[in-house]
Structures are given as C-alpha cells and as structure tokens.
C-alpha cells in the first residue's frame, strides 16, 4: 500500500512538468516561432508579416507590460521593454517604401535580426523574457511547482520505506 501511495505522490510533479512543457511549446508555436521567422526573413514584407502575427499574440495575451519574475525584478524579465522594442522594430519596417534602397532595406533587416536574436555559445536564440510562456500566472506556477516537488519528495520517501521493508 505504501508503494502505491508513493507512486501516486510522484504524479503531481510529472503533471506539472508536462503542463510547463506544453505551455512552452504553445508559446513557441504561437509567438516565438514567428519572431524567429521575422529575424530570418529575407524581405521586409516577410518580416512585417511575421512580426504582425507575433505582436498580435503579445497584445492578445497581455504580454505588453509587467515582469515575469517571481521573487525580484530583473531587466531581462521586463515585458514592457521587450514588447516596445519589438513594436519599434515593426515601426521601422513600416517606414520602408519602394524608394528605399537595397542597402537600407538590408540594414533594417540586420537591425531587426539583432533586436530579435541573442547570439550565444549554442548559436542564436530568440530574445524572450524567462518564464514568459506561463505569464501572468508565474507566481501560481512557482507555488504549484514547489508544492508538487515537496509531494514528490514525500512519494520518494514512501517508496524507499516500502521497498526497504521488503
């Protein structure tokens, strides 16, 4: 019986992890992927289309202000700056006309790429605040994650006791 209860107590952390992964996948599919496509675009029109989709998602999901942090605010978790930066990049793209030279278009696209991507040891990645896929519920997820971890530890103890008795 202890082993069965121990196994049941392992489930909340598994469920929590699954929900977090699904949230990350959905954010990547609905917003971050479009930011990456905008950064990779070879034409201003393509970049504008992709940024429009991403900005609509941000505005529709309230990702325009606030912080994703739980304990203390850091600049890399500032949604307002992130959103305004992307919005201003879209405004720069909108200024491009048919009379704009190829060099100017190329410069605008390079600037957009630098705005949207971070270069690291593992290559380039889209610049997004940490924890954005669960915003505005970051505090709820923090407590649920902590609680599910504590329950998981209790389940491990019960399993250890159950198997130690045999």
Residue 47's pLDDT band (cuts 50, 70, 90): very high
**Residue 135 has what pLDDT?**
96
DSSP 3-state assignment of 118? Answer: strand
Tell whether the model's pLDDT for residue 166 goes beyond 80. Answer: no
**Tell me: the pLDDT tens digits for 55-105?**
999 999 999 999 999 999 999 999 999 999 999 999 999 999 999 999 999
Instruction: Report the alpha-carbon distance of residue 158 to residue 152 in Å, rounded.
Output: 10
Phi, psi of 127 (to 5 degrees): -80, 110
Tell me the whole-structure pTM to 2 decimals. 0.90
Q: What percent of the chain is predicted at pLDDT more than 90?
A: 92
Q: Mean pLDDT across the stretch 140-158?
A: 97
Question: For residue 50, how far is the Cα from the chain centroid?
Answer: 17
Instruction: Report the alpha-carbon distance of residue 166 to residue 85 in Å, rounded.
Output: 61
Bridge partner list, 126:
117
Tell whether the model's pLDDT for residue 26 goes beyond 80. Answer: yes
Tell whether the model's pLDDT for residue 108 goes beyond 80. Answer: yes
């Amino acid at each position: 019986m202890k082993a069965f209860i121990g196994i049941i107590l392992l489930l909340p952390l598994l469920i929590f992890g699954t929900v977090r992964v699904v949230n990350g996948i959905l954010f990547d599919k609905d917003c971050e992927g479009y930011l990456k496509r905008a950064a990779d675009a070879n034409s201003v029109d393509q970049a504008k289309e992709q940024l429009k989709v991403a900005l609509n998602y941000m505005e529709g999901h309230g990702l325009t202000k606030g912080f994703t942090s739980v304990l203390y605010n850091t600049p890399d978790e500032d949604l307002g700056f992130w959103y305004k930066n992307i919005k201003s990049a879209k405004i720069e793209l909108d200024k491009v006309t048919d009379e704009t030279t190829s060099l100017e278009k190329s410069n605008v696209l390079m600037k957009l790429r630098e705005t949207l991507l971070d270069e690291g040891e593992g290559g380039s990645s889209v610049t997004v605040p940490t924890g954005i896929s669960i915003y505005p519920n970051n505090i709820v997820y923090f407590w649920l994650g902590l609680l599910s971890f504590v329950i998981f530890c209790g389940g491990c103890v019960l399993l250890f006791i159950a198997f130690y008795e045999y």
